[in-house]
Amino acid sequence: MLDRRHPINLAEAQARLTTVKLPTAIETIPVTEANHRTLAKDITAPYPFPNFRRSGYDGYAIRHADDQGYPKVFKVLGEVQAGANFDGVLGENETVRIMTGAHVPDTGDKVIMLEQTRAVPEHDDQIKIMTGSDRINITDAGSEFAKGQTLLTAGTELNPGGLSILAAFGYTEVAVYRQPKVAIITTGTELLQPTDAPQPGKIYNSNGPLIAGLVQENGGIVTEVVQIPDDYQLLQANLTRLEAANDLIITDGGVSVGDFDYLATAAREADQLIFNKLSLRPGSVTTAFVHNDTFIMALSGNPGACYTGFYMFMEPVLRRFVNQPSRLKKVTATLVKPYDKTNGYDKLLRGTYTLTATGYQVQLHGSDRSGDLGNLQATSCLFMIPHSPEPIALNAEVDTWLLPFK
Ligand SMILES: Nc1nc2c(c(=O)[nH]1)N[C@H]1C(S)=C(S)[C@@H](COP(=O)(O)OP(=O)(O)OC[C@H]3O[C@@H](n4cnc5c(N)ncnc54)[C@H](O)[C@@H]3O)O[C@H]1N2
Ligand code: MOO
Q: What is the pLDDT of residues 269-325, one digit of tens each?
A: 899 999 999 999 999 999 999 999 999 999 999 999 999 999 999 999 999 999 999
Beta bridge partner(s), residue 367? none
Q: Which CATH architecture has domain 10-23+180-321?
A: 3-Layer(aba) Sandwich (3.40)
Query: What was the pLDDT predicted at 24?
Result: 97
pLDDT at 1 over 50: no
Structure ipTM: 0.97
50-60 average pLDDT score: 98
155 phi, psi to nearest 5 deg? 100, -10
pLDDT > 70 fraction of the chain, expressed in percent and rounded: 99
Query: Mutation test of ligand 2: which of 276, 280, 302, 376 has the most ligand atoms closer than 8 Å to its C-beta?
Result: 302
Q: How far is CA 400 from CA 91, 138, 234, 351, 361, in A?
A: 70, 51, 39, 9, 9
Judge whether 66 and 112 are in contact, CB under 8 Å. Answer: no
* Nearby residues of 219 by Cβ (< 8 Å), 6 or more positions away: 36, 179, 180, 318, 319, 321, 322, 324
- The CA 266 to ligand 2 mean position distance, Å, reads 20
Residue type, 30: P
What whole-number distance in Å separates Cα of residue 59 and Cα of residue 136?
A: 12
SS3 call for 398: strand
pLDDT at 220 over 50: yes
Domain ranges for the chain: 10-23+180-321, 27-49+145-177, 54-139, 329-402
Judge whether 375 and 396 are in contact, CB under 8 Å. Answer: no
- The CA 347 to ligand 2 mean position distance, Å, reads 10
Of 2, 9, 23, 1, the residue nearest 286 (C-alpha):
9
Query: What was the pLDDT predicted at 3?
Result: 63
Q: Which CATH architecture has domain 54-139?
A: Beta Complex (2.170)
What whole-number distance in Å separates Cα of residue 30 and Cα of residue 10?
A: 39
Stretch among 232-241, 254-263, 323-332 having the lowest mean pLDDT: 254-263
Domain 27-49+145-177: which CATH number of 3.90.105.10, 3.40.50.720, 3.40.1030.10, 3.40.50.2300: 3.90.105.10
Counting ligands in written order, which one lies closest to the CA of residue 368?
Answer: 2
Minimum CA distance residue for ligand 2 atom 3: 282
Query: Mutation test of ligand 2: which of 285, 313, 367 has the most ligand atoms closer than 8 Å to its C-beta?
Result: 285
Domain 329-402: which CATH number of 1.20.1260.10, 1.10.10.1100, 2.40.340.10, 3.30.565.10: 2.40.340.10
